[in-house]
């Protein structure tokens, strides 16, 4: 077991930018569109509505107007749209986050880019370097494939870097355009649930090393947890038409079995207990996942209120979701100096990331 780092030498979260694409559809509008799409397939449309209403999502922001999805039949067409929108949304959210932190693109030493909903080489961070005017010695770490856990994992990896370079500034940019991954021929229950749960959005976290930043919560430590032999719990099958969802009903069960021991072990290494944490920043996995978090960690109903609200308002934004909740926590008037908080997310692997915060 490694020695716990001290809060004073820990990097700081300066700001979190959040952006949603401009096209909004209510869940009822989306259900109507899916009814049209799948009516000819003799699919049980009542089942579709039940599954969509069960995810507790009132509506979602979409990369394109709803009618513009129809002509996108090939993986290339959808991925081309993904690149275009990811660059636009990524630029918007990086500018917003830097402005909140009182910094410019020239101040950034390293950008960590996370996504699981599209492919681009050069990656989106490189395309943004050209648009935003980053310095030519910018370091870039594009990370693909961590899925929903990548918001928390990206922060943890950026913090590892900032411990080595305590005067540097790093960005973690998450862009997820889940609507552009929809497999319209896939009538499996996981795909129907995914079509009702996942939304589009982007978030950007500005972090600074201990010698550069002072304002904001410090990231005291992080812990990754990998669960053996769980590859088929969550992920993509890469097929000719793009990304086909793998989503097992075992996710809430895994949370119930594992997360309490993981959290208690991590906090115990810092001499902390769950009762001493004032702020819980949980990924908005879905109603059953949030309920499993609450039950296994013995959290009161209000504890994850921000995660529940985010899920209801915008859906699950994959890696960006936990960063949305982080941003809202930072900008609320609730955190006080000395408060402890925990950011947590889970994703394909199957795995978890825990990030310990101190205000």
**Catalytically active residues, by annotation:** 148
CA 76 to chain centroid, in Å, comes to 24
Contact predicate 78/107, CB 8 Å: no
Contact predicate 259/293, CB 8 Å: yes
Burial grade of 57 (CB within 10 A; 0-12, 13-18, 19 or more): buried
The angle subtended at Cα 293 by Cα 314 and Cα 352, nearest 5°, is 85
Look up residue 94 and give its DSSP letter. H
* CA-based nearest residue to 223, from 259, 274, 173: 259
Return the axis-axis angle of helices 45-54 and 189-197, rounded to nearest 10°: 50
Look up residue 161 and give its DSSP letter. H
Token readout for 140 is 């870039």
* CA-based nearest residue to 340, from 292, 249, 275: 275
Q: Which residues, in sequence order, are bridge partners of residue 352?
A: 225, 346
Cβ neighbors of 9 (< 8 A, separation 6 or more) are 163, 166, 210
Question: Is residue 122 classed as helix, strand or coil in its secondary structure?
Answer: coil
Token readout for 112 is 């960590």
* CA-based nearest residue to 162, from 96, 104, 108, 202: 108
């Amino acid at each position: 077991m490694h020695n716990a780092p001290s809060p004073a030498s820990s990097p700081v979260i300066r700001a979190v930018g959040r952006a949603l694409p401009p096209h909004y559809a209510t869940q009822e509008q989306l259900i109507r569109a899916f009814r049209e799409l799948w009516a000819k397939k003799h699919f049980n449309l009542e089942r579709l509505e039940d599954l969509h209403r069960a995810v507790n999502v009132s509506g979602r922001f979409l990369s394109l107007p709803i009618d513009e999805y129809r002509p996108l039949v090939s993986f290339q067409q959808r991925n081309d749209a993904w690149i275009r929108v990811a660059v636009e949304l990524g630029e918007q959210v990086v500018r917003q986050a830097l402005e909140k932190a009182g910094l410019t693109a020239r101040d950034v030493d390293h950008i960590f880019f996370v996504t699981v909903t599209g492919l681009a080489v050069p990656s989106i961070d490189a395309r943004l370097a050209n648009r935003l005017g980053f310095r030519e010695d910018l370091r870039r770490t594009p990370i693909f494939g961590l899925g929903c856990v990548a918001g928390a994992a990206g922060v943890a990896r950026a913090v590892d870097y900032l411990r080595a370079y305590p005067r540097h500034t790093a960005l973690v940019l998450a862009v997820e355009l889940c609507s552009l991954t929809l497999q319209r021929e896939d009538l499996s229950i996981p795909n129907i649930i995914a079509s009702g749960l996942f939304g589009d959005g982007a978030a950007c976290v500005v972090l600074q090393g201990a010698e550069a930043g002072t304002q904001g919560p410090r990231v005291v430590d992080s812990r990754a947890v990998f669960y053996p032999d769980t590859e088929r719990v969550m992920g993509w099958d890469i097929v000719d038409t793009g990304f086909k969802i793998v989503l097992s009903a075992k996710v809430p069960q895994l949370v119930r079995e594992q997360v309490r021991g993981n959290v208690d072990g991590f906090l115990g290494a810092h001499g902390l207990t769950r009762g001493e944490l004032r702020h819980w920043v949980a990924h908005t996995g879905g109603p059953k996942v949030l309920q499993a978090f609450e039950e296994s960690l013995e959290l009161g109903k209000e504890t994850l209120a921000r995660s529940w609200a985010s899920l209801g308002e915008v859906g699950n934004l994959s890696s960006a979701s936990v960063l949305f909740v982080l941003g809202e926590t930072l900008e609320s008037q609730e955190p006080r100096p000395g408060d402890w908080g925990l950011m947590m997310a889970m994703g394909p692997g199957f795995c978890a990331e825990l990030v310990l915060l101190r205000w």
